[in-house]
Each structure stands twice: as C-alpha cells, then as structure tokens.
Amino acid sequence: MLVLLDSRPESLDAFEIACRLAADDRAALTALVVVDVPTSLPLDAHMSREEVEARDLLERANATGDSYGVKVQPRIVRARGVGAEVLRTARADRAELIVLGAPRRELGAPRRRHPQPTLVDVLTQAPCRVMVVSDRGRQAA
C-alpha cells in the first residue's frame, strides 16, 4: 500500500485510514513524501525547508503507524511532478492500493470543476486501485 503524504489535513486523515487497513490486513505500508522541485531549479537544488517538512511528516507517519502496530516504510523523493512520482513509485513497488487525501473542493465541487493534476493523473493512470479520502466536512478558511 502506498500513501502520498503532504501537510494537508486530508492527507493525514488518509494516512490514518491506510494504517487501519494495513493493520487489519497485515499489509506493508509505504509513506511517500514528494519534494516537488520547480523546473527552473536543478533536481539537487537546496530545498532544506521542504526536506525538513518532509522528515517531520514522516516522523509523524511513523508515530501513527506505531500506534496501529504497522511498520511504515518512509520515503522522500525529489521529483518534477507529484503525480508522476506517485505513479512511478506505485509501479516500481507493485502497490496494490494508492491512498490519497484531497479536499472536497478538488473532487469536482461547483467552484472548481477540475481536480488538481496530481489527483487526475493518479486516478486515470494508476496501475492499481486508488482510494481518495476527502475532508470530514471541514469548512475552508
């Protein structure tokens, strides 16, 4: 099982749900944080703030996994596009399920009819099943 992590609450909710599923099925769980490097920079550009945030997310993921008795394989990857990296990792790991968090507004609400490219890419090109976890009725600020 592959879970894309970012700092949004929906992503953290998705990770918790993935932990529950992994605990029930005794499944392997990979927590992926993609440091999206702009095309104007080289892939090895200095992005220390983003990498610190990525490590913090993975520490939080490990703690959540521990609370469910799930072994979490943490992974930080630098890439040009988040969706493409999720797809590449899912194929390389032969993931059976990709879990993503996305706010309801990205799922086709009237204000925004087109979901973010990452979500569309993964939903349309995934080599396995995809679970999308949306917010629990939180109001946008």
Can you read off the two tokens belonging to residue 88? 């590449």
% of the chain beyond a pLDDT of 90:
71
Q: Per residue in 37-65, pLDDT tens?
A: 998 999 989 899 999 999 999 999 999 99
Say what the pTM is.
Answer: 0.86
Name the CATH architecture for the domain at 2-133. 3-Layer(aba) Sandwich (3.40)
Give the ranges where 42-116 is alpha helix by DSSP (H): 48-68, 82-93
At 97, give phi and psi (nearest 5°): -150, 135
Among candidates 57, 131, 54, 128, which has minimal Cα distance to 93?
A: 128
pLDDT value at position 66?
95
Question: Is residue 74 classed as helix, strand or coil in its secondary structure?
Answer: strand
Measure the CA–CA gap between 74 and 105, rounded to whole angstroms: 28
In the chain, domain spans: 2-133
